[in-house]
Amino acid sequence: MNHIYLFDVDGTLTEPRQPIDPDFARFFERFCRTHPVYLVSGSDLPKLKEQLPTSIIASAQGVFSCSAAELWVDGKTIYQLDHQFPKDLIEALESFVEMSQYPRRFGNHIEYRTGMLNVSVIGRNAQKSDRQSYFAWDRQEEERSAFIKRFIETFSDYEASAGGEISIDIVPKGWNKSRALAVLKQDMPDGIITFFGDRMQPGGNDYPLAKALREDSPLHRVMPVESFNETWALLNTITSPRIGALLQAS
């Protein structure tokens, strides 16, 4: 029976939009070489290559990018799902950015990726300290969660979820990270999956996959984390032969 490990990237393997910690990178590369690993990210492949070394990406069995609208294996495209978003939806995102009470803007507010849109009030050009400032403000004001609720009430054929510290992912209904489970089950119907992510709560972009795993089998494991350090600590229990045997047998 195959045991497969799935990992979100931002907030799970790295700090949001930052390169992976060098010490953790060495550990994680060894893990990828000895365990079947897939990456499942809302980011596109070029952004992932800014955060993860080529050796890690090459050691993974595959990369589900753009919230699983793309799958890459050995650097080759297995599939890509494209979508034309309606004008009124894009206008609603533009209005969200314009009407936000947050005072600062840094550009690149609506970014098209394969099969999805990523919208950010502060903008994806913001530096780390500005991202953290918006994240702290948003936790208090709940701007993103309020917009997500209004959005899905207005555009019932689409999904919206919080991604990373500053953005919201917009996808056609069903075009979310849960697609990774459906794809993997085609080749490994009996595989047992452990998924690590930092946005497992409703409204987070890891939630659809976490929910699908829980509904698919009680043998799958969903591992919520808040940082790469938590991921590292949990992986240490797996790589410890004695503790890992107990974990994988539970």
pLDDT in tens, 154-166: 999 999 998 778 9
SS3 at position 222: strand
Q: Quote the percentage of the chain above a pLDDT of 70.
A: 95
Which phi and psi angles does 166 have, rounded to 5°? -130, -5
Tell me what percent of the chain is helix, strand and coil, each rounded to the nearest 5.
Answer: 40, 20, 35
Say yes or no to pLDDT of 243 above 80.
no
Distance CA(76)–CA(215), nearest Å, equals: 31
Q: Give the domain-ending residue among 157, 172, 187.
A: 172
- Mean pLDDT of the residues in the chain: 91
Helix axes 228-239, 22-34, angle to 10 degrees: 40
Q: Quote the percentage of the chain above a pLDDT of 90.
A: 84
Examine the domain organization and report whether 36 and 91 are in the same domain: no
Range of the domain at 217: 3-81+175-249
Domains: count for the chain: 2
Catalytic residues: 8, 10
Distance CA(152)–CA(67), nearest Å, equals: 18
Examine the domain organization and report whether 165 and 228 are in the same domain: no
Examine the domain organization and report whether 76 and 11 are in the same domain: yes
pLDDT value, residue 249: 43
Distance CA(59)–CA(62), nearest Å, equals: 9
pTM of the entire predicted model: 0.83
Q: Where is 147: in which H helix or E strand? A: helix 143-154
Confidence of residue 126 (pLDDT cuts 50, 70, 90): very high
pLDDT value, residue 202: 87
